[in-house]
Amino acid sequence: MTLTGALETGVVVPADERVIDVRDLRMRYGTKDVLDGVGFTARRGEVLALLGPNGAGKTTTIEILEGFRARSSGDVRVLGVDPVRGGEDWRGRIGVVLQSWRDHGKWRVRELLQHLGGYYRPYSTARLTRPSPVDDLLEVVGLTSQAQTRVARLSGGQRRRLDVAIGIVGRPELLFLDEPTTGFDPAARREFHDLVHRLTDVDDATILLTTHDLDEAEKLADRIVILAGGRIIADGSADTLSRQVAGESEIRWTRAGQRFVHSAPDATPFVRELFRQYGEDIAERSLLPCRSARCWDRCSTTRATWAW
């Protein structure tokens, strides 16, 4: 069994709980398949991490879900609506935090949030008053002291916090976070993690975030969907995926100029027999245990899987 084969995909979410429902999503640029049959769901109040290396298709996926990019094929529903047909009412229910911030340098932080928040006021409901009060929002993202500061004078980390504030000013039912902690120092990263949990606890928001950082995905997400080479290779909680991986070790060796790979639940008997039969004829031997989800982005086995 290979690492890819050990990871079962397809967590089932009841239809009436699906905030995101993606089936057989495909995206092609010329002859290159960027997304190849991607499918997953997300339920209300869930934090879902889309994890993968650069170039895996994470940003393309999130842009399709946001309605910013048309897909080649497949069925996509976000809050029950096809994103390419999403109107203003639909957009009033989602929030977006992009990798790069727009240049609002001349605005002061408070006035920018007040201005942008005004666009969401018509989309208030009996259950949810929009937008968020600006003072509450500034406190949540840690920018109270910078309320009167011009955006151009903020540090990189402070600008990123402002990006988050802009994304949640409308109290979204669904929040998209594309590499949300880029530029954060460790303290700001911890504060952001607390913020994400508050959003789901208070407003029952669903959050889809993209990241290449497994540690961050484990800390933030209820579920992790691993995307590699345009395909989903795993879908589950960090604990579930770790248990699935833990059963196999991969042994690689070279003999007589040929390379061999073997996977086994317990590598010790196999390695002992290998050396009994071939002894010093074996070269470049290695054991890759893959005992934890934490090795996915570092070990040789995983690199082979990323290239799937």
Please report the pLDDT score of residue 301 as a whole number: 39
Please report the pLDDT score of residue 83 as a whole number: 97
pLDDT means over runs of 10, the chain (308 residues):
38 73 96 94 94 89 95 97 94 82 80 94 87 91 93 86 90 90 76 80 86 86 91 87 64 75 72 73 54 44 34
Residue 101 has phi, psi (to 5 degrees) of -95, 150
Give Dmax over CA atoms of the chain in angstroms: 76
Please report the pLDDT score of residue 10 as a whole number: 52
pTM for the model: 0.73
Please report the pLDDT score of residue 133 as a whole number: 93
For 172-210, b where at least 16 C-beta lie within 10 A, e where not — what string?
Answer: bbbbbbbbbbebbeeebbebbbebbeebbeebebbbbbb
Please report the pLDDT score of residue 14 as a whole number: 63
Residues 6+ apart with CB under 8 A from 103: none
Please report the pLDDT score of residue 8 as a whole number: 42
Please report the pLDDT score of residue 4 as a whole number: 36
Residues in the chain: 308
Calculate the CA dihedral of residues 152, 114, 130, 167 and round it to 10 degrees.
-10
Residue 113 has phi, psi (to 5 degrees) of -65, -35
Tell me how far CA of residue 200 lies from CA of 194, 195, 203, 207, 222, in angstroms.
10, 9, 6, 8, 11
Please report the pLDDT score of residue 261 as a whole number: 76
Please report the pLDDT score of residue 306 as a whole number: 32
